[in-house]
Amino acid sequence: MGMRVVFCTCARIATYGTQQWGELAGMLDAFFEPVDKSVWAPFRNSDTLLGGKIHIHGNSFPKLKNCKVALVGAGYPADEVRRKLYSLSWRFDNLGVADLGNLKLNGDANSRQFAMSEAIGELLAAGMKVLIIGHDPLLLYGYYKAYRQTKEPVEVVKVSPDVDLDEGTPLRQILVEKPSYLFNIDFLATQSYYINNQTASVLDKMYFENHRLGEIRASMEETEPILRSAHLLMFDMNACRYADVPGTMLQSPNGLYAEEAARLARYAGVSNTLSSAYFYGLNPENPQSADHVLLSQMIWYFLDGFCARFNDHPVHNHEDFLIYRNRLSSTGHEIIFYKSRKSNRWWMEIPHPYDKKTFFIGCSFRDYETVCNDEMPDRWWRAYQRLM
């Protein structure tokens, strides 16, 4: 079962003047509560710490004109993470970062989904990158719907130990959404004993990629091309092992190490296309300082990665890329690789089966070696099949 998606290029990214930025801030102010003074006041006079350098929604809503990244709280553990985050060193030069405060998640489930979707959607439309700190997985659907107005196929990376497709779950809602603007979901750090045969079969039929914990641990660098092609990251902290993140709901002895979680967050920051991340999954009834420290460090690494973005997504026949063409004798398919002269990173060109359009997905030198051995790269084949 494939997923036919029509690609277009009319992303809804606004060009804002001073008045428009002011109007955006005025509109967003209604969605957010300010950060409690006790959280930010100890850091405001620092020239070296993050809490003294970012624009915080305290006494007034921050000006957004020169900000590229927005922090958003969505319930527990946002304020506790802020206390740790604000105390970290500022090493991001002139990067504009705004902490917008905490989303007003009042009313019923639909109202909370609406608040998430509208607030995040407006920030994305303004071209801002958004980092969300929360705990409720049910808000994933509202988070995903924030992308409905971008008018481009959406690629999701979900870091989680399981894949829950039961009726009413956020993933199920995303998959049955009509009209669909979902192109792909890559699952990272899954653990096989949490995924039943039926779910595994659905993922295979939809040509989604499922990268198990052992697989990515053996080659962590192979997760960078996956995140490089994504638009949004859903990071379930339950994917981390209990010894490193004791406040999770799952409390599994197996999972990502803390340094692996931080590495994934940096890869997300470096991604040319990734515009938001939602970190969730901690248990509000079991707050743990170690969890808050790790999440703050993950956000720090995202910002560090963002400052290191190459912005070198391929353009057809551009002089900044080396182009390699290989034809598989076994299938007759021509696989075209683009290698950036700026970053030495690789992409594969995917031809659309119905149009003359093509698009690119991130890959690695390992995929190029696979083709040189006259074998089909799994990522190319799955991407092509999702277009059918």
> What backbone phi and psi angles, to 5 degrees, belong to 285?
-90, 0
- Residue 193: the pLDDT is 97
Burial label for 373, CB within 10 Å (0-12, 13-18, 19+), is exposed
Mean pLDDT for the chain overall: 94
- Residue 149: the pLDDT is 84
Binned at pLDDT 50, 70 and 90, residue 39 comes out as: very high
d(CA 354, CA 335): 17
d(CA 174, CA 35): 31
User: Which runs of E-coded beta strand occur in the chain?
Assistant: 32-33, 55-56, 69-74, 97-103, 129-134, 154-159, 182-190, 209-212, 232-236, 276-280, 321-327, 334-340, 346-351, 358-363
Whole-model pTM: value is 0.94
Token couple for 69: 């990244």
Burial 316-329 (b: 16+ CB within 10 A, else e): eeeeebeeeeeebe
- Residue 15: the pLDDT is 64
Residues 6+ apart with CB under 8 A from 140: 170, 171, 174, 234, 278, 280
Binned at pLDDT 50, 70 and 90, residue 40 comes out as: very high
- Residue 99: the pLDDT is 98
Q: Over the stretch 91-142, which tens digit does the pLDDT of each residue have?
A: 999 999 999 999 999 999 999 999 999 999 999 999 999 999 999 999 999 9
Q: Over the stretch 43-90, which tens digit does the pLDDT of each residue have?
A: 999 999 999 999 999 999 999 999 999 999 999 999 999 999 999 999
> Residue 9: pLDDT above 70?
no
| Mean pLDDT, residues 193-219 taken together | 97
Q: Over the stretch 193-203, which tens digit does the pLDDT of each residue have?
A: 999 999 999 99
| Mean pLDDT, residues 21-39 taken together | 96
- Residue 4: the pLDDT is 43
- Amino acid 358 reads T
> Residue 8: pLDDT above 50?
no
Complete DSSP assignment for 50-72: HHHHSEE-SSSPPP-TT--EEEE
d(CA 385, CA 207): 7
- Residue 19: the pLDDT is 86
Residues in the chain: 388
User: Which runs of E-coded beta strand occur in 93-245?
Assistant: 97-103, 129-134, 154-159, 182-190, 209-212, 232-236
Would you list the domain boundaries of the chain? 18-307, 321-386
- Helix, strand, coil tally for the chain in percent (to 5): 35, 20, 40
Binned at pLDDT 50, 70 and 90, residue 18 comes out as: confident
- Residue 14: the pLDDT is 52
- Residue 7: the pLDDT is 41
- Residue 354: the pLDDT is 85
> What backbone phi and psi angles, to 5 degrees, belong to 349?
-90, 130
> Residue 356: pLDDT above 90?
no
Residues 6+ apart with CB under 8 A from 167: none
324 bridge partner residues: 337
| Mean pLDDT, residues 246-264 taken together | 97
Strand arrangement of the beta sheet that strand 321-327 belongs to: 321-327, 334-340, 346-351, 358-363
- Residue 12: the pLDDT is 41
- Amino acid 16 reads Y
- Residue in 201, 69, 75, 199 with CA at minimum distance from that of residue 138: 75
Q: Which fold has domain 18-307?
A: Arginase; Chain A (3.40.800)
- Residue 31: the pLDDT is 97
Question: How far from 211 is each of 187, 191, 311, 377, CA to CA, in Å?
Answer: 6, 9, 26, 15
Q: Over the stretch 297-341, which tens digit does the pLDDT of each residue have?
A: 999 999 999 999 999 999 888 999 999 999 999 899 999 999 999
- Residue 218: the pLDDT is 97
